[in-house]
Amino acid sequence: MTVDQIKQKLKEKEYSFLRENEKLKDHIILLALGGSYAYGIEKEDSDLDIRGIALNQKNEILLRTDFEQVVDLHTDTTIYSFYKMIQLLKSNNPNTIEILGCKPEHYLYLSEIGKELYQNRNMFLSKLCIHTFAGYAGSQLRRMENKAARLMTQTQRENYILKSIQNARYDFKTRYFPCEEDQIQLYIDSAVQEGYDSEIFMDLQLRHYPLRDWAGMWNEMKAIVSSYHKMGKRNENAISHNKLGKHMAHLIRLYMMCIDILEKEEIITYRLEEKDLLMKIRNGAYLDQNRQPTSDFYDLLNEYEKRFEYAKNHTSLPDLPDYKRIDAFQMEVCERIVKKG
């Protein structure tokens, strides 16, 4: 489907909610392609995903309320409120920061405020992307991991579990009572459990620490470990619907996108230079006759992980987004809305 065809499709009845919903209508500032179309890896049967942003209205600004998002499941459309989107962009959320890196023609609508947001997109970029993108990449890896048991050793799986936990721990300090890094040390050593070659161990040096905060952290870490053992049925379903290649392509794409942010300080959602490689992965070029990822795919993944490690250690990005500039932009937009009435 071409961009012109998509624009015509948005005029049809099934998308009438964009023009009739009171939260949307004249308040939309940005509409863009999402999903496979946005990444440049769509196929003939790919679903059409639409993503967008709508301004909060005067009453919401003054009363400090927020509709957060409008979702239409039938058309795979999600329109975020301006407030909600700003918070997600501040956190360098991969699923939303990509909305500011689309090809120019993939923006189906941009108001003046939408253009200003796009032009100021670099104020959101920070080292937070290291942990958010790595976390999303880890979840993609877990979706396909059990399918490749014969290609991945138990020790390798244990390393991926540890990586996922370390990424999750990054924001523990903002949600739980603080503790020094050396007070909770996680590492891999020779296993004591029967049937394991190696396993994750922990050294704790916590004193006078709130029990409920420790229980929260423990439950999050436990959930990550458990997730590696609950993917069986989902993986079988993915194989039967030929979705494994798609998960593999998205895993590599996440690394590509984050490396660009770290090295070039640019959000590049549409992967023009790597399109052929990503389509090969999606179409099954890295799956064997049993529909499992080949060792070549893991070599490729390892290559991108090394590039990611180098980029994160040499990036010039700030530790945190430019909160002062973001807040000034948000206040200025809200002031314009209130004055307009």
How far is residue 11 CA from its own chain's centroid? 29
State phi, psi for 74 to the nearest 5 degrees.
-60, -35
Distance CA 282, CA 43 (A): 10
CB hemisphere CA count around 39 (13 angstroms)? 28
pLDDT of 271 > 60? The answer is yes
Mean pLDDT in residue range 69-82: 96
CB hemisphere CA count around 123 (13 angstroms)? 16
pLDDT digits (tens, 9 = 90+) for 99-122: 999 999 999 999 999 999 999 999
Longest Cα–Cα distance in the chain: 69
Note whether 317 and 265 are within 8 A (CB): yes
In the chain, what percentage of residues exceed pLDDT 90?
Answer: 68
pLDDT digits (tens, 9 = 90+) for 3-40: 999 999 999 999 999 999 999 999 999 999 999 999 99
Distance CA 253, CA 270 (A): 10
Label residue 229 by pLDDT band (50, 70, 90). Answer: low
Distance CA 28, CA 51 (A): 11
Closest CA to 133 of 165, 166, 167: 167
pLDDT digits (tens, 9 = 90+) for 248-263: 999 999 999 999 999 9
pLDDT digits (tens, 9 = 90+) for 285-327: 998 887 778 889 989 998 999 999 999 999 999 999 999 999 9
Distance CA 209, CA 212 (A): 9
